[in-house]
Each structure stands twice: as C-alpha cells, then as structure tokens.
Amino acid sequence: MKNQKFLLLFLLLICLVMSCSSKSVNIALIHFKPELGELNNNLTALVPLITEALENDADIVVTPELSTTGFSITRDQVLENLGLTDPFPELNSIRNLAIEYTSYIFMGIAEKTDQDEVYNSVVVFGPEGYEQLQRKRGLSGWHERGNLPFKIMKTEYGEIAPIICSDSYLPEWPRILAKKGVDIVLLSANWWGTGQEKIWQTRARENGIWFFIANRWGIEEDPRYGFTYNMNNAPAPLPDLQQLVI
C-alpha cells in the first residue's frame, strides 16, 4: 500500500440489520500521521488516501482529529495560516469526491471563523456537498468550546453523526446523540496511551449504538510543552470479525 508513512487504512464491511435500514455500509477509517503545522502537505497527502478508500467502495470515510494540522498547534497558528473558514474552499477537492462517489467524508480540521474564533472541528461532506460542521466541546488549550448542537444525518445506512475525541469521555454527549436516534457515531480522535478502547466500548454499549474511531498514529513532539505524544501504542479499535451484524 502506498504512503505507509501516512496511512493505516482499514476498510470495514458492516452489515446493519436495523428497523431503519437493511443496507450494508463500508466505513474507511484513515489512521493518518499528519505533519505538525503543515496544512498544505497534509491536504496533499489526505486526498489520495480518501480517493483510495472511495475507489475501494467506501461509503463513509473518517479522518482523525486535526488531520490537516497535527495536534500540538497554537491559537496564533490557527489564526495565521492553519485555520480553515466556512465554506472551506481548501477542502473543495474532498467535497467533490464526496459528491462524485455519493459518499460521506468526515474531515478533522482546525477552524477559524470570520470573528477570529478558533475551534477544533469536523466538517462533513456528503453526496450533495456540505452536510454539517461539529465543534469539539472539550478544551485542548487553544480553542473555544464547541457551541453547535449535535445533528443527526439520515442516510440509507441509518442515522449517523460525528463526535470529536475527548467529547466521548463524558456520557452526556453520546447519550444526546442516542436520544436523537443515532445508529453510528463516527469519531475523529487524537488519543495516545492505552485504555481508551474501554471508554469507547462503554459509550457504545450503554447506548446501544456503533462507535467507529479514526485515531491518528505516529510520534509527535509538542513544542508548546516539551512533551512527546506516542500514538503508536494507542488503540485503533477494529472488530475482530470482518462482518458484524446488529
């Protein structure tokens, strides 16, 4: 597989047998190693990986949290050159892929608003283009707290929605999605260490929903605090069985 430096790509076939849907769905989780602070390089690397997933019949593609920037960024960097602003023209090629392949693509980005607010966000594109934006509620030191309501997307595969990394720590956020009728939660993550898979498994089990996580990989040096993040030992939970039935 090409671009091994950047990619651990898992294409999952999940057979959903639910009251709302009996259609199978292919979900691609792109376990990506972004270059810290290199927006253009990361976008250049992500486009062919997303294309590869779609060419292998992915219906939904998920990238990690902050896949366009890396994790250890600052507010000033986002305001200066790393932040993307609605309607996100830098992501036009990715939006066009979603339209061309009638798929859903979840992109973890750093967002900058016209009011110079900054957010840790996920943009979702679908068969008709832009679908929704979600902002992380948990704080990472440089961004505002997410202020958008959770929104469910009705698809032929069931009802789906994004959530971002540590927002899955707290039971309230996934529970809101479950109460709104979500079937599949697509989670963009940037998590290191061990034990996280138990949190994700618990959130899924207590709500009777599916969690699929695109967690980044690699080692990142944090110049802000002199800390090293080793994502190589972090979980990227994949089912042991290729085919699952709800």
CA 238 to chain centre: 15
How far apart (Å, rounded) are the C-alpha atoms in residues 187 and 212?
6
The whole-angstrom separation of Cα 36 and Cα 66 is 10
Q: What is the reported pLDDT for 17?
A: 39
26 in helix, strand or coil? strand
Amino acid at site 149 = P
Residue pLDDT tens, the chain, 246 long: 444 344 445 455 444 434 444 578 999 999 999 999 999 999 999 999 999 999 999 999 999 999 999 999 999 999 999 999 999 999 999 999 999 999 999 999 999 999 999 999 999 999 999 999 999 999 988 999 999 999 999 999 999 999 999 999 899 999 999 999 999 999 999 988 777 888 999 999 999 999 999 998 889 999 999 989 888 766 554 444 333 333
Ramachandran category for residue 152: left, alpha or beta (phi over 0 → left; psi -120 to 50 → alpha): beta
Distance CA 96, CA 116 (A): 27
DSSP track, 145-198: PP------EEETTEEEEEEEGGGGTSSHHHHHHHHTT-SEEEEEE---SS-HHH
> Rounded to a whole number, what is the largest CA-CA distance in the chain?
50
